[in-house]
Each structure stands twice: as C-alpha cells, then as structure tokens.
Amino acid sequence: MKNKHLTEKERYLIEFLYKKKYKVKDIAAELGRCQKTIYNELKRGSVQLLNSDLTYREEYSAQKAQDDYNYKQTGKGTELKLSNDYDFVHFIEDKILNEKYSPYAALVLAKKKGFKTDICLTTLYSYIHMGLFSNIHQSDMPYQKRKKKDVPVTRVNIKNINKPSISERPNDVLLREDFGHWEMDTVYSGKKKSKTCLLVLTERKYRKEIIMKMPDRTASSTVKCINRLYCSYGAKAFKSIFKSITVDNGTEFSDFENLSKNNRTKIYYCHPYCSSERGSNENQNKLIRRFIKKGEDISLYSDSQIKAIEDWMNNLPRKLFNGKSA
C-alpha cells in the first residue's frame, strides 16, 4: 500500500520528470499517485528562478517541498492530556508556587485528590516547559541534580587528626541499612545580617529532619543543642535514635568530647571539602532554602516558623520513597 504522504525520494523523482517536461498525468502514472496529489505537490515546491535575460521562470524544487513538509510535521504532536481541567492546573501551580512542593510531590498529592487528569512526571515537566502552566517559571523549579566526579580523598583535617574519621565509620551506615545514623550541618544567615543559624540533622535512611535554632555557630551552641535533644529524648531513647552523627570540619563541631560525652553517640568527621559525604544533609538544606533564601537573616524567623518548615519537610512526598514521606 502506498504511503499517504510523498517520500523524499518521490519528490526528487517528480523534480527530475518535471524538468524533462513530463505531463502531470504521466508523472502521476509513474509514481502510482492521483493527479491531484501531483498538482498539490508542484504547488508546494514551486520556486521562481531568475533567467539570464532577467525574466523569471517557475520550477519545482524537491528540497523546498521536503523542507515545507518537515516544518509542518513539527507542528504535530500527541493530544494534550490537560484538556480543560483548570482545577488540576491551579492545584499544581498552588503546590509549587505557594507551598514550595516539587513537581513530583505536587503530582503525588494531585493523584490522591482524584483529579480526572492523570499524567506522569515527565509529561508534567514537558507541560511546564511548554508554558501550559503560565504562572510557573524555571526559577520556581527545585534544584537539579548534578553529576559529580568521584575523586578519591585521603586528606584529613589537621584539627581533627585524632578524632574519628568517616573512613572509620561502619559499612552498614554507608549502605543505609539501619535507622539511627544522622548527618549534621548548619545553615546560617547572610553576611553582615546576624550570627543566628540553624543546626540541621538528617537521618540517612528515612531522611527524618530535625531543625534547631542557634544564636551563633560556636561549638558551645552546638553542644547545648545536642544536650537539649538528649534531655528531651532521655538517655536510653537518645542512644537508640542517634547511633552516629557525621559532621564536617567546621568549628561548630570541633568539641568532640562534649558532643559524644557519656558515649551517648558516635561522631564521625568528613574529609575536608567533601560535602558529598553528607549528601543527604546537603539536599535537605536545599529544601530549607526554599523558605529561607540565602542572604536572609534567620533571626527574623520565629521558632514556630522553623518548626513549620521541619514539619513540611518530614511530610513531603518523596520520589525516593515512591510518594511516601519521611
């Protein structure tokens, strides 16, 4: 059966026969096409060429006809699945813009709501880039993952030369097989704003988040926060929940003895300049930055606002957990 559309090969054959002064009916017979198809094709590929006497003649160009065909094909695509489901559009925009959800998390919640529109994550991203969600722009998208080269690191920080290195951490912690192994970092205010910062702890297996406000990034403030956690959980529960904590080499974590006193937890120090060794922690910090932008003064945020951010993170649907939360 003949293809509905002329092929590129057929177009060049038309051009050859037309230059040989073949009649339209003869070209149609040669290609096994109806005469109307040939007439339409000659019109599609019609070009005006300049003669040596500065007059013009009309010719058929297979290249022009093929370019026109290819261009018109780009305007075709699969039918949009959004239809006129404006409630779905408004729901997705509200979750991403106002509630700081990722497109994945917004889509999970939309499916739970039972909207008639049912699309996959890839389609949602395509529709956003196509501008079908007119209020959402690229700047509203969450941070994209970047591939990092694995560079072997052997250096240790001279300040922590006698403290447990991450290389001494048991392998089951790396494999995330057991609950209770945490990563710890600080999120701080902008320069010349205030010394106020956040102490953030991320559980490696389930991404449970704990955020505590600190007056400054000193070792004593960090110890006070950990002491506060220790008192609120109790000695027995604290030991089972906080089996280990991995930190960087910042001065706020330098008081190893008091952080791990009474053998209440194990502290491990990352290699210098290797934030990827606390990857879960770093990714969680990006979620915090959806609410507290870099350069802002954290002292302006109340404890209840900080707690609201913590609750939001712990209830966020995660692609990592197939739509479930921490």
Whether residue 97 lies inside any domain: the answer is yes
Of 43, 74, 105, the one marking the end of a domain is 74
Range of the domain at 273: 158-321
- Exposed/middle/buried for 93, CB within 10 Å: 0-12, 13-18, 19+? middle
Residue 63 shares a structural domain with residue 94 = no
pLDDT of residue 197: 94
pLDDT at 159 over 80: no
Whether residue 163 lies inside any domain: the answer is yes
Q: Average pLDDT of 58-62? A: 90
Q: How far is the CA of 258 from the CAs of 99, 212, 224, 261, in angstroms?
A: 39, 18, 9, 5
Whether residue 80 lies inside any domain: the answer is no
Mean pLDDT for all residues in the chain: 87
pLDDT of residue 288: 93
Residue 26 shares a structural domain with residue 67 = yes
The confidence band for 147, taking pLDDT boundaries of 50, 70 and 90, is low
pLDDT of residue 78: 60
Higher pLDDT, 86 or 181: 181
pLDDT of residue 1: 45
Residue 162 shares a structural domain with residue 301 = yes
Q: Average pLDDT of 292-316? A: 94
Residue 247 shares a structural domain with residue 212 = yes
Give the pLDDT confidence of 29-53 residue by residue, as tens digits: 999 999 999 999 999 899 888 888 8
Cα of first residue to Cα of last residue in the chain, in angstroms, is: 58
The confidence band for 154, taking pLDDT boundaries of 50, 70 and 90, is very low
Whether residue 121 lies inside any domain: the answer is yes
pTM over 0.85: no
Give the pLDDT confidence of 229-265 residue by residue, as tens digits: 999 999 999 999 999 999 998 889 999 999 999 899 9
Cα–Cα–Cα angle for 272, 275, 280, nearest 5°?
145
> pLDDT exceeding 70 applies to what percent of the chain?
90
Nearest CA to 170 out of 258, 251, 246 is that of 246
Q: Among 98-107, 218-227, 233-242, which is the least confidently predicted range?
A: 98-107
Residue 306 shares a structural domain with residue 274 = yes
Whether residue 212 lies inside any domain: the answer is yes
pLDDT at 98 over 70: yes
